[in-house]
Structure 1
Amino acid sequence: MLVGRLEIQLRLFECHSLKDKRSVIQSIVRKIEHRFPVSIAEVGHTESLERSTIGIAVVSNGHRHIEAVLDKCVDFIEFENSCEIIETEIEID
């Protein structure tokens, strides 16, 4: 069994309150949960209006499958107009 972990640092646009930010993040989280077989949550910068860190995990028996799923998640987030990816970190154990 292999576990893949993806940490994504985001810069958020047009968030004037934490309520705005949480709405944007929850939208991204829900969309990814429905499209991909992953666990996802906001894991950092929870009190910042301009930044967020999202953690995504996937379990599989194949290294390539994990990479493919996590890459698709990154690609999906890149097309969100409400944020920009600053940094990604992938670890597979």
Structure 2
Amino acid sequence: MIIGVVRCECMLYNAQSLKDKRAVIKSILTKAKQRFNISAAEISFHEAWQRTELVFTSVANEKVAVERELQKAIKLIDQNGDIERTETIFEWL
């Protein structure tokens, strides 16, 4: 069994309030959980308007399957024009 974790630190340059930030984050996390075989959450910078850290986790029997799901989550972030990834860290357990 392979467990993959990807942490993405991101910037939201257009967010003018926590409400703006939460709308973007909630949309990404909800879509990721519904579409892919992953768990997702915001883990840092909860009170910062323009900064966040998201984490995505997947479990499967093969590393290829886990990596595929995590890459889909990263692509979901990259396709959203309101958020930009600044740092991405993969961890394998």
TM-score (norm 1): 0.95
Structure 2 counterpart of 1:68: 68
RMSD of aligned residue pairs (Cα, Å): 0.9
Within the alignment, does 1:6 sit opposite 2:10 as a pair?
no
Q: Residue deviations 1:44-89, cap 9 Å, x none?
A: 1111111100011111110111111111111121010111110111
Structure 1 counterpart of 2:29: 29
Runs of 4 or more, structure 1, over 6 Å off, are none
- Stretches of structure 2 that go unaligned for 5 or more consecutive residues are none
Aligned with 1:23: secondary structure? Answer: helix
Q: CA deviation at 1:38?
A: 0.5
TM-score (norm 2): 0.95
Aligned with 1:9: secondary structure? Answer: strand
Q: CA deviation at 1:28?
A: 0.8
Aligned with 2:14: secondary structure? Answer: coil
The whole-number CA distance in structure 2 between the counterparts of 1:42 and 1:52 is 7
Alignment coverage as a number of residue pairs: 93
% identical aligned pairs: 33
Paired AA for residue 76 in structure 2: F
Structure 2 counterpart of 1:46: 46
- Stretches of structure 1 that go unaligned for 5 or more consecutive residues are none
